[in-house]
């Protein structure tokens, strides 16, 4: 595969950093952004010919066009976006002020939309890909997550509309699952008083038992997809579950189940029972990742 150019938000840590490292290791070029400059500077130092960065606040209305301009001036094009940034502030709906809603939507919704709009012309030229990092909370309700979950549901809908309106662009929304990131720490430290007890306890237990995903698990999958997208999945929202989307054994199981005309399998505890077309999307993603 020839070298491609990607813009990645929230690239200083967690899933965004994992996506960036994977793409760099595959000899691609990246323009990365986050509020913290030091991790970005480190990546630039270790990969001087592959990395450009802007440290800044993602809600800055000038940042999207600056990122796109930097990618084009430095590397000549934009092949894909990974819209990875976001924030979670656990608080019940009745207790969340309108200003707090605006803050979360500015970060989780409007800044991502602004970047996609800024890059749309370049993505048409490259027949590129947008990966919207979504969440299981877009489809499953968690107490005290109304602002976060609804913001991710907006991503899913926007992604699907872009797929319909822009036939040359692949746009997908992917839920990464429960990943051991700073956001998980926030919900454990701030969510106890407002979250449903059983739901809160499940997150604490996942950390204590060491069953949270490493950022590289969903990160590598997302990086591989944005670099080599499967057009048939454009417009879809699907969850990341390692054993369900990697490996030929899963593909064989899917083929057998579809042949037998069986019902909908369970795909990932975070989303529960998904509809058949989403299940088929999982199988198609597995095929993409096994190529």
Query: Any idea where the domains of the chain sit in the sequence?
Result: 5-181+214-240, 244-291
| 5-181+214-240 has CATH 3.30.1360.10 classification | no
Decide if pLDDT at 164 tops 60. Answer: yes
Percent of the chain with pLDDT over 90: 81
Catalytic residue status for 224: no
pLDDT at position 240: 76
- Higher-confidence residue: 250 or 154? 154
Q: What is the largest CA-CA distance in the chain?
A: 54
Task: Give pTM, 2 decimals.
Answer: 0.85
CB of 91 closer than 8 Å to CB of 99: no
Decide if pLDDT at 228 tops 60. Answer: yes
CA-CA distances (angstroms) from residue 69 to 7, 163, 289? Answer: 11, 24, 30
Question: 98-131, pLDDT tens digit by residue?
Answer: 999 999 999 999 999 999 999 999 999 999 999 9
Decide if pLDDT at 263 tops 60. Answer: no
Decide if pLDDT at 13 tops 90. Answer: yes
pLDDT at position 255: 45
Confidence class for position 241, pLDDT limits 50, 70, 90: low
Kindly report the average pLDDT of the chain as a whole number: 88
Average pLDDT over residues 172-198: 95
> Interior CA angle at 148 toward 144 and 92, to 5°?
20
pLDDT at position 284: 54
pLDDT at position 1: 72
d(CA 272, CA 139): 9
Catalytic residue status for 148: yes
pLDDT at position 265: 41
Confidence class for position 290, pLDDT limits 50, 70, 90: very low
**Angle between helix 63-75 and 111-126 (nearest 10):** 30
Decide if pLDDT at 59 tops 70. Answer: yes
Of the candidates 20, 14, 13, 91, which has an alpha carbon nearest to the alpha carbon of residue 51? 20
Average pLDDT over residues 12-18: 98
Of the candidates 89, 239, 235, 234, which has an alpha carbon nearest to the alpha carbon of residue 178? 239
d(CA 287, CA 274): 19
d(CA 89, CA 32): 24
Catalytic residue status for 134: yes
CA-CA distances (angstroms) from residue 251 to 220, 262, 264, 285, 287? Answer: 19, 15, 15, 10, 7
The active-site residue, picked from 12, 134, 146, 171, is 134
The active-site residue, picked from 142, 148, 200, 240, is 148
pLDDT at position 118: 99
The active-site residue, picked from 4, 29, 91, 152, is 152
pLDDT at position 285: 56
């Amino acid at each position: 595969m020839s070298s491609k150019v990607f813009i990645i938000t929230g690239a200083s840590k967690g899933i965004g950093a994992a996506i960036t490292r994977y793409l760099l290791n595959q000899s691609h070029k990246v323009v990365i952004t986050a509020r913290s400059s030091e991790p970005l500077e480190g990546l630039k130092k270790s990969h001087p010919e592959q990395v450009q960065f802007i440290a800044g606040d993602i809600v800055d209305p000038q940042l999207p066009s600056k990122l796109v301009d930097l990618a084009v001036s430095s590397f000549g094009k934009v092949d894909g976006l990974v819209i990875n940034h976001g924030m979670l502030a656990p608080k019940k709906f009745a207790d969340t002020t309108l200003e707090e809603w605006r803050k979360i939507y500015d970060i989780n919704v409007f800044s991502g939309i602004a970047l996609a709009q800024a890059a749309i012309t370049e993505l048409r030229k490259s027949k590129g890909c947008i990966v919207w990092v979504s969440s299981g909370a877009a489809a499953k309700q968690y107490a005290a997550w109304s602002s976060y979950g609804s913001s991710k549901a907006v991503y899913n809908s926007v992604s699907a509309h872009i797929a319909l309106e822009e036939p040359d662009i692949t746009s997908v929304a992917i839920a990464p699952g429960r990943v051991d990131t700073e956001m998980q720490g926030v919900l454990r430290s701030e969510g106890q008083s407002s979250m449903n007890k059983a739901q809160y306890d499940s997150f604490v237990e996942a950390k204590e038992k060491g069953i949270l995903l490493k950022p590289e698990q969903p990160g590598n999958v997302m990086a591989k997809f944005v670099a080599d997208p499967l057009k048939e999945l454009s417009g879809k929202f699907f969850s990341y579950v390692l054993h369900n989307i990697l490996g030929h054994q899963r593909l064989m199981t899917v083929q057998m189940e579809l042949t037998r005309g069986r019902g909908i399998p369970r795909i990932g505890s975070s989303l529960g029972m998904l509809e058949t077309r989403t299940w088929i999307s999982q199988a198609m993603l597995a095929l993409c990742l096994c190529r």
